[in-house]
């Protein structure tokens, strides 16, 4: 397993790089997120849970865990996975479905009170292999049903939403920060978030001013985008960007969230993420 020190460095490195691609993330998904629907109804959650528990999903997760082993061993990951190797992973789901909320571009563009801080992005379900690996499945609603559109190593997408309590947990994916909004107070749940808003957090109004300064001039249609500077310039945000501990530069994951981990995108390649890189399909 990757050490906590390496994970921490990778996340901070991801924050540095993701600030440079923040505009790309908003440009790729911003308008859709601004008009995102509310959290799914209980019937949708139940439907998503059935999809996550489906045999085909279990097989996909098993293959993912095999490829994760290959990646961590520095091996080529795109080769096929034998049935025996997949069966040995025997993945199980934790059974809980968590709605994940993400920073709302309308909140970034507007002023305090003009929009909700975050909008629903996807449902997350945790998975564990028989050999102790952990991953999060992302589910989004397609034309006819919920679909597993992403698998990512680690537990952030399930662990942090479980800490909502009386508030709302949301992510600022551009810097891999997780926050809780409770009343008018935004507090950090992970190191990136605490670096962003301080150990004691900040007011919602101050947070709005912070993300407006970070991203408002990098939204679709901005001069930053028109000049083709996506990923080429890291804005001066005052956020600490790393501790020299290494870590990968994040790729743009499906549904344009710079979330974490080794990412398996359905029907595509495993992409670069917080804690690793590999190439595989299916």
276 within domain boundaries = no
Sheet containing strand 92-103, strands side by side: 202-203, 185-188, 177-182, 168-172, 92-103, 118-128, 134-141, 146-153, 263-265, 270-271
- Grouping H, G, I as helix, E, B as strand and the rest as coil, residue 233 is coil
Check whether 163 has a pLDDT greater than 90.
Answer: no
Q: In the structure, what pLDDT confidence band is assigned to residue 33 with cuts at 50, 70 and 90?
A: very low
Q: Quick one: pLDDT at residue 220?
A: 63
Check whether 80 has a pLDDT greater than 50.
Answer: yes
246 vs 188: which has the higher pLDDT: 188
278 within domain boundaries = no
281 within domain boundaries = no
Q: Which range marks the domain in which residue 26 is found?
A: 4-78+93-231+245-271
73 within domain boundaries = yes
29-43, 46-60, 115-129, 201-215: segment of lowest average pLDDT: 29-43
33-37, 90-94, 154-158, 204-208: segment of lowest average pLDDT: 33-37
Please tell me the total count of domains within the chain: 1
Global pTM exceeds 0.85: no
Q: Quick one: pLDDT at residue 229?
A: 52
Check whether 232 has a pLDDT greater than 90.
Answer: no
280 within domain boundaries = no
């Amino acid at each position: 397993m990757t050490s906590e020190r390496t994970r921490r460095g990778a996340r901070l490195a991801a924050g540095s790089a993701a600030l440079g691609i923040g505009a790309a993330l908003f440009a790729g998904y911003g308008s859709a997120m601004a008009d995102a629907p509310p959290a799914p109804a209980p019937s949708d959650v139940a439907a998503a849970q059935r999809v996550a528990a489906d045999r085909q999903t279990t097989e996909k997760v098993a293959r993912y865990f095999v490829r994760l082993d290959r990646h961590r061993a520095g091996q080529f990951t795109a080769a096929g996975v034998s049935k025996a190797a997949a069966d040995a992973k025997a993945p199980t789901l934790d059974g809980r479905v968590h709605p994940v909320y993400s920073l709302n571009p309308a909140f970034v563009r507007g002023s305090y009170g003009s929009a909700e801080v975050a909008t629903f992005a996807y449902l997350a379900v945790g998975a564990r292999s028989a050999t102790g690996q952990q991953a999060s499945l992302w589910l989004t609603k397609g034309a006819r049903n919920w679909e597993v559109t992403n698998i990512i190593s680690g537990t952030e997408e399930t662990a942090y939403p479980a800490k909502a309590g009386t508030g709302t947990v949301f992510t600022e994916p551009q810097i891999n920060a997780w926050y809780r909004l409770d009343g008018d107070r935004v507090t950090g749940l992970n190191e990136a978030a605490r670096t962003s808003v301080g150990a004691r957090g900040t007011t919602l109004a101050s947070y709005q001013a912070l993300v407006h300064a970070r991203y408002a001039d990098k939204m679709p249609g901005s001069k930053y985008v028109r000049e083709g500077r996506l990923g080429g310039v890291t804005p001066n945000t005052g956020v600490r960007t790393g501790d020299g501990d290494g870590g990968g530069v994040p790729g743009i994951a499906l549904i344009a969230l710079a979330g974490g981990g080794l990412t398996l995108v359905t029907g595509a390649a495993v992409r670069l993420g917080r804690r690793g890189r590999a190439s595989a399909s299916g």
